[in-house]
């Protein structure tokens, strides 16, 4: 039997399925060679083919006058906060106004939508939805907690030293106005629910998800970015907390494993403890547990705080 050295066209030029490979006479052993990459169940690509989202979006935008890149594609191009199952998505989404024919390009997710001019912008030669409009478009597809996390990212106050900007991408008032303009959009009810749950102050998705888990457990809503010394810009702060209970809650993500960051975190926590605060620190393992154990620790800490400070009011239900 003659050994098959090269993939037949069109398999050699683009991603292909296991079914199409077998239909073209490609054997299972042939699919195990180094020039073929298995990128998912039943899906392969030639090793020399490099998908690049920005390049694909740029080309699609160029051949689609009047349309714009949207939904998860726009979110990925802007590095917006997405749940893990969408963070590496290679889907290409294109939106068009109703005056244009519907999108019928193979492999493209087409949307016919109503959008104002200020909801679409040109960024480095690519027409795409604004960050806020992208958030609204994804309201139909994202679970509520993930939509809140994405919204919290839009309204958070940036750290100038690290981000080079001084203003948030949007405000709650701005997002409410956007939602009000599109009362019939799919997902609009979830968008309204998300707006009611969004808060300024979360620096990451896990911080938002922890806050939502606390609320779902019926506990009092914590403050966000709680400084040890109010009014002191140089004061260490807690990601979440209850000042009147002297309870500081920290979420330490992956970057907190850096040696210098570990030292900084210890110094931060020691400052709170020296001032008589209880410090609870959670990490990716708690995130993976949907913060169930974390909420239990917070409940106990609040209950102990209630016993230590019986004059506090309004928090007995969280015990």
The pLDDT profile of the chain, 319 residues, written as one tens digit per residue, is 445 578 888 788 766 778 778 888 899 998 999 899 775 445 577 887 677 788 778 877 877 889 999 999 999 999 999 999 999 999 999 999 998 988 887 778 999 999 999 999 999 989 999 999 999 999 999 999 999 999 999 999 998 777 888 899 999 999 999 999 999 999 999 999 999 999 999 999 999 999 999 999 999 999 999 999 988 878 999 999 999 999 999 998 865 556 767 888 899 999 999 999 999 999 999 999 999 999 999 999 999 865 454 333 333 333 3
Asked if residues 96 and 111 have their Cβ atoms less than 8 Å apart, the reply is yes
Give the structural domain span for 133: 53-197
Last residue of a domain, one of 33, 50, 67: 50
Whole-angstrom distance, CA of residue 62 vs CA of residue 149:
32
Asked if residues 25 and 8 have their Cβ atoms less than 8 Å apart, the reply is yes
Same domain, 244 and 262: yes
**Token representation of residue 120:** 């679409």
Same domain, 58 and 20: no
Same domain, 76 and 177: yes
Q: Which of 200, 149, 150, 134 has its CA nearest to residue 173?
A: 200
Same domain, 24 and 109: no
Q: Which of 82, 92, 23 has its CA nearest to residue 61?
A: 92
Residue 237's H or E segment, with its range, is strand 237-242
Same domain, 58 and 43: no
Same domain, 188 and 216: no
Q: For 36-45, b where at least 16 C-beta lie within 10 A, e where not — what string?
A: beeeeeeebb
Last residue of a domain, one of 34, 50, 66: 50
Same domain, 210 and 280: yes
Same domain, 121 and 149: yes
Asked if residues 299 and 319 have their Cβ atoms less than 8 Å apart, the reply is yes
Q: What are the C-alpha distances in Å from 253 to residues 116, 236, 271, 284? A: 38, 17, 20, 6
Same domain, 189 and 215: no
Whole-angstrom distance, CA of residue 126 vs CA of residue 58:
6
Last residue of a domain, one of 175, 197, 219: 197
Q: What is the pTM of this model?
A: 0.79
Same domain, 189 and 295: no
């Amino acid at each position: 039997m003659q050994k098959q050295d090269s993939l037949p066209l069109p398999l050699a030029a683009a991603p292909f399925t296991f079914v199409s490979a077998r239909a073209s006479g490609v054997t299972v052993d042939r699919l195990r060679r180094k020039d073929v990459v298995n990128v998912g169940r039943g899906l392969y690509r030639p090793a020399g083919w490099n998908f690049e989202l920005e390049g694909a979006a740029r080309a699609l935008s160029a051949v689609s006058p009047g349309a714009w890149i949207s939904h998860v594609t726009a979110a990925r191009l802007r590095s917006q906060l997405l749940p893990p199952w969408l963070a590496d998505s290679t889907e290409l989404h294109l939106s068009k106004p109703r005056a244009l024919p519907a999108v019928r390009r193979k492999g493209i997710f087409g949307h016919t939508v109503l959008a104002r001019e200020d909801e679409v912008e040109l960024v480095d030669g690519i027409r795409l939805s604004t960050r806020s409009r992208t958030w609204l478009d994804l309201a139909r597809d994202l679970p509520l907690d993930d939509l809140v996390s994405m919204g919290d990212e839009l309204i958070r106050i940036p750290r100038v030293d690290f981000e080079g900007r001084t203003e948030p991408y949007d405000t709650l008032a701005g997002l409410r106005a956007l939602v009000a303009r599109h009362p019939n959009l799919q997902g609009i009810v979830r968008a309204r629910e998300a707006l009611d749950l969004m808060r300024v102050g979360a620096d990451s998705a896990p911080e938002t998800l922890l806050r939502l888990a606390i609320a779902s457990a019926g506990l009092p809503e914590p403050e966000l970015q709680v400084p040890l010394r109010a009014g002191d810009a140089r004061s260490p702060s807690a990601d979440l907390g209850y000042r009147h209970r002297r309870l500081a809650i920290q979420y330490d993500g992956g970057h907190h494993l850096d040696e210098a960051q570990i030292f900084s975190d210890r110094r931060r926590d020691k400052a709170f403890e020296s001032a008589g605060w209880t410090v609870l620190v959670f990490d990716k393992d708690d995130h993976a547990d949907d913060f169930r154990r974390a909420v239990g620790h917070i409940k106990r800490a609040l209950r102990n705080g209630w016993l230590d400070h019986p004059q506090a009011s309004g928090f007995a239900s969280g015990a």
